[in-house]
Structure 1
Amino acid sequence: MKQFVLFQMWEPSRKSFIAVHEFYVTQANKRLLAQFKDIETEARKAAEHWLEDNNHRFDPDRHDPGSFYEQAHDIEIEFYQLLSGMHNTTRLSVVAGMYHEWDKQFRDWMITEVNHWHHGNHTEAKIWSVDFGKIAELFKSLGWNIQSKSYFRKLDACRLVINIYKHGKGKSLEELKKKYPEYLRNPYGTFGDDFFELDFLDHTHLSITDAHVEEFSSAITGFWEDVPKTILKSQDFIVPNWLESAILKDLNSRTISK
């Protein structure tokens, strides 16, 4: 019996997806993240500039030199903290763009493949809107278990990080606390064994490093490399409810329009 092809990854397409992703990451590092490579020195220079700009105000008969240097030190600390916060925000923005581009390309690829055997506005809209977890379950039933792969945890963590970055408090924050607390900066030091400190952390403590950015990037590359060349319809395949419902709506729309 001839097996029916549901999805197919054309190798030039795979290479293109990876190349576009790697270009984005390379340029983001070069044009954005590299600007923060030495914020300690920049903070120190900010303090030095403050001293130079305020040197005319210093009167040795009236002022304590130590107080001026103390103010300069405060300027250095504040400047460093502001740049550090901007660095974190820039990382999050880069990761958000990276993740959303991957998500859009993957769903667009799915729609292109589905259109070979079914075309309909309801199905296309559903693929764009359905939760990624349901998409993963669809492919698992077809033999590609995304959730069992090493890259999945990073993609899952990245999804939560981006949701928190965009929306603040919510379900994603609570899920991140339980599954990936390493992406929350603990102002009190390292987390204890019972993780009681997590109760006091919120979206303002979301923090990622350059290493995290690289890990998320590698996960996306790993995903594209892992997409099976051909995904066939098995005899025991059951169409998930969300996809079946969308397909039926398309078929009903065609019947009504006739």
Structure 2
Amino acid sequence: MSDYVLFQMWEPFRVSLIEQHDFYVREARSRLLSRFENIEADADRAANAWLEEGGRWFNPDDDPGRYYEVANDVGIQHYQMLCDMREQTRLSVVAGMYHQWDKQLRDWLVREIQHWHRGDCVPAKVWGGDFIRIVDLLESFGWPVRRADYFKSLDACRLVVNVYKHGEGPSLQDLKRRYPEYLHDPFGGEGSSLSNVALRDHTALRVDDHQFQGFDGAIRAFWGDVPESVFSSSISTVPQWFEKAILEDRKLIDETGAKR
């Protein structure tokens, strides 16, 4: 029985995928995230700007301390808004990074499949299938993805991105149960019952710089770990959804041929 390659990761293509990922992360850091490195100074400038503007209407009969109190409040508010913007920007960068990886993976799978299979059902299922189905397909290669060190970071990244996009829903519940460290505790471990992760909603979603680095490293490690060649002999059982899609395509091709 002949053995042939079903999936192949051409080494220059692997290098290209990693380079694209590195470019995205590097440029996102330098062009977006770096803008929030000195938000304390930005808040001070906002408070001073208010003082300068407010001084134009200063009345000697007014309490000068009141002006400084308001300026301080302006600085605090500006700082908090910048903090919120920083969190949203980092989450947006994470979402873009994840979606780039996810689309590139599915595109590679479909292009490899089209070398040896005809039909539209299989590509549609690969593009439309959820993360778990794609992982099931990868593991049918004999590649134990779920046991890899980077898998938990990829899985957490997926849930973080879903919560960022959709808010409340199943992904938030999964995140609470499996990766609660991505849901900010507003009480910082003071022991209040409100710090219970079960009571936090999607607005508590946070990714710090260390966690961002974990997502970055997981995607790089994943691309580096993709098998160079997956032979037909190494696949004994494919996921049921994949097998069903192949049979549907074959049936449609047979029916089309019969009508001719």
Question: Structure 1 CA distance, aligned partners of 2:190 and 2:87?
Answer: 20
In structure 1, the residue matched to 2:17 is 17
Deviations 1:51-97 (A, max 9, x none): 0000122223x211221111111101100111111111111111111
DSSP-derived class of the 2:86 partner: helix
Q: Normalising to structure 1: TM-score of the pair? A: 0.94
In structure 2, the residue matched to 1:117 is 116
Question: Structure 2 CA distance, aligned partners of 1:242 and 1:234?
Answer: 20
Structure 1 residues 19, 191: CA separation in 2 closer, same or farther (over 3 Å shift)? farther
In structure 1, the residue matched to 2:229 is 230
**Structure 2: segments with no counterpart, 5+ residues:** none
In structure 2, the residue matched to 1:130 is 129
In structure 2, the residue matched to 1:68 is 67
In structure 2, the residue matched to 1:88 is 87
CA apart distance, 1:233: 2.6
Q: What letter matches 2:177 in structure 1?
A: K
Question: Structure 1 CA distance, aligned partners of 2:8 and 2:28?
Answer: 31
In structure 1, the residue matched to 2:34 is 34
Q: Is the 8 A contact 2:142 2:235 kept in 1?
A: no
Matched, 1:180 2:194: no
Deviations 1:207-228 (A, max 9, x none): 1122222211111001000111
Q: What letter matches 1:137 in structure 2?
A: D
Q: What letter matches 2:111 in structure 1?
A: T
Paired residues in the alignment total 257
Structure 1 residues 20, 202: CA separation in 2 closer, same or farther (over 3 Å shift)? same
In structure 2, the residue matched to 1:153 is 152
Q: Is the 8 A contact 2:141 2:235 kept in 1?
A: no
**Structure 1: segments with no counterpart, 5+ residues:** none
In structure 2, the residue matched to 1:256 is 255
Q: What letter matches 2:47 in structure 1?
A: A
CA apart distance, 1:189: 1.1
Taking only aligned residues, the RMSD between alpha carbons, in angstroms, comes to 1.8
The ranges of structure 1 where at least 4 consecutive aligned residues each deviate by more than 4 angstroms after the TM superposition are none
Q: Is the 8 A contact 1:142 1:234 kept in 2?
A: no
What is the percent sequence identity of the aligned residues? 49
Question: Structure 2 CA distance, aligned partners of 1:122 and 1:141?
Answer: 19
Question: Structure 1 CA distance, aligned partners of 2:156 and 2:70?
Answer: 41
Q: Normalising to structure 2: TM-score of the pair? A: 0.94
In structure 2, the residue matched to 1:54 is 54
Structure 1 residues 67, 181: CA separation in 2 closer, same or farther (over 3 Å shift)? same
CA apart distance, 1:122: 0.6
CA apart distance, 1:188: 1.1
Question: Structure 1 CA distance, aligned partners of 2:168 and 2:213?
Answer: 25
